[in-house]
């Protein structure tokens, strides 16, 4: 059986290579602050004013983001996205995308994630 969606980016995830995308209203995370899971969690908690009980587990992240998505849509822009979780084991990137994908398809309001891979000038 052939998976016709293999290699296709899901609708909630946008990968930008030229920096020419209007993401007004997005919360912005700098790639340099997201190199580790702890850094990613801290950066996201800071820009979204997430509760202190967030912790550093993917389940906890899912819970607080679901609560945030109860209030309305959310767009997260990660600049220099090539740095996202690069200092973590490779499975962490997949786990993050799984958490975000689950939220994007089941939360009451839309979640959009923009990975801006434009090289810094």
Question: What CATH number does residue 20 fall under?
Answer: 3.30.370.10
Sheet (strand 111-116) strand order: 13-16, 111-116, 74-79, 27-30
- Which residue range forms the structural domain that includes residue 88? 13-116
Domain presence at residue 62: yes
> Which tops the pLDDT comparison, 20 or 110?
110
- Asked if pLDDT for residue 70 goes beyond 50, the answer is yes
Task: Give the chain's domain count.
Answer: 1
User: For residue range 43-55, what is the model confidence (pLDDT) as tens digits?
Assistant: 999 999 888 777 7
Calpha distance 105→79 (Å, rounded): 23
Domain membership flag for residue 66: yes
Token digits of residue 62:
């899912």
Buried b (16+ CB within 10 A) or exposed e, 73-84: ebbbbbbbbebb
What is the chain's length?
121
């Amino acid at each position: 059986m052939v998976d016709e969606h293999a290699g296709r980016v899901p609708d909630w995830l946008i990968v930008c290579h030229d920096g020419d995308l209007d993401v007004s209203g997005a919360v912005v995370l700098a790639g340099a602050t997201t190199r580790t899971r702890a850094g990613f969690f801290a950066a996201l908690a800071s820009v979204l004013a997430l509760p202190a009980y967030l912790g550093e587990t993917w389940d906890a992240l899912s819970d607080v983001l679901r609560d945030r998505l109860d209030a309305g849509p959310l767009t997260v822009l990660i600049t220099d996205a090539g740095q996202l979780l690069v200092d973590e084991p490779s499975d962490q990137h997949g786990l993050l995308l799984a958490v975000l994908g689950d939220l994007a398809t089941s939360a009451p309001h839309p979640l959009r994630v923009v990975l801006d891979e434009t090289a810094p000038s």
